[in-house]
Amino acid sequence: MDRLTRPVLVTGGAGFIGSNLSDRLAREGHDVLVFDNLGRPGVELNLADLQARHPNRVRVRVGDLRDPDAVDQAVAQAGAIFHFAAQVAVTTSLEDPETDFDVNLAGTVGLLEAVRRHGGRTPVMFASTNKVYGDLADLVLESRPDGYAPLDPRLRERGVGEDRPLNFHTPYGCSKGAADQYVLDYARSYDLPACVLRMSCIYGPRQMGAEEQGWVAHFLKQALAGRPIRIFGDGRQVRDVLDVSDAVDAWISAWRRIDRVKGRAFNLGGGPVNAVSLRQVIDHIETLLGRSVEVEFLDWRPGDQRWFVSDPSAARLALGLPEPTPWRDGLAGLAEWLRGREPDDADLPLAIGGAAR
* Pairing assessment for the beta strands 229-232 and 147-150 based on DSSP bridges: unpaired
Rounded Cα gap, residues 168 and 302, in angstroms: 12
Alpha-helix runs per DSSP H in 33-103: 43-53, 68-77, 90-95, 97-101
Do 204 and 215 touch, CB atoms closer than 8 A? no
Calpha distance 244→193 (Å, rounded): 24
The active-site residue out of 172, 182, 186, 203 is: 172
Rg, the chain, Cα only: 19
Cite the beta strand spans of the chain per DSSP E: 8-11, 32-36, 58-62, 80-83, 124-129, 141-144, 147-150, 194-199, 201-203, 229-232, 238-243, 265-268, 275-277, 295-298, 307-308
Q: Are the CB atoms for 21 and 251 separated by under 8 Å?
A: yes
Query: CA-CA distances (angstroms) from residue 179 to 84, 310, 354?
Result: 12, 20, 16
Crossing angle, helix 278-289 and helix 327-339, to 10 degrees? 50
All residues at 6 or more sequence positions from 243 whose CB lies less than 8 Å from its CB, including other chains: 202, 203, 204, 270, 324, 325, 327, 329, 330, 333
318 and 207 Cβ atoms separated by less than 8 Å: no
Residue 172 falls in the annotated catalytic set? yes
Catalytically active residues are 172
